[in-house]
Amino acid sequence: MSDRTKTFPAEAVMSTVTGILVSENGIGCVYEVLNWMTGESVFTHQISRISREAVPVILALYPDMQIAIDEAEQVNSENWRDWLATWKGRYGDEIAVPVMNIAEHERIDPVSELAEMVPPDRVITIGVGKP
């Protein structure tokens, strides 16, 4: 493993790659993977965009993981543990993921990105500082 990759639990990487949460620890594991890959502190509204950026980067290292992405359509609240066990059997308990470079990830200010996602009348800016 190089200093440009870091290992994460399989459930964290598979949740990030498939878009299906398969972790007992919740969504926090996806934040951890994406924070590492981007070198940023990812906000909730950025997860889907950055995950779309991360998938081809991870697939470049693990092309056979496309099968898991295709299988994810079958995952539901009843069988996710079985699918996670299948995926761990294939890819191991931990999976190394790389840092994304500038060509792979577009850095967007999280507040600006949110402002583009919602109508202006739904945005309330609060200033913090001295009165």
pLDDT at 82: 96
User: What's the pLDDT score for residue 59?
Assistant: 96
In a domain, 127, yes or no: no
Locus of tokens 């991360």: 54
> What local confidence, expressed as pLDDT, does residue 13 receive?
97
The pLDDT of residue 122 is 77
User: According to the model, what pLDDT value does residue 110 have?
Assistant: 62
Q: Give the pLDDT confidence of 77-107 residue by residue, as tens digits.
A: 999 999 999 999 999 999 999 999 888 866 7
Residue 41 has a pLDDT of 87
Nearest CA to 53 among 38, 69, 70?
38
Structural domain includes residue 71: yes
Q: What is the DSSP letter of 79?
A: T
Q: Could you give the CA distance from residue 7 to residue 54 in angstroms, rounded to a whole number?
A: 15
Q: Domain range spanning residue 65?
A: 5-106
* 125 part of a folded domain: no
Ranges of residues in the chain whose predicted pLDDT is under 50: none
Place of tokens 């919602």: 118
- Rounded to the nearest 5 degrees, what angle is found at the Cα of 30, between the Cα atoms of 24 and 33? 125
Total tally of structural domains belonging to the chain = 1
Compute CA distances 63 → 21, 116, 123, whole Å: 21, 33, 41
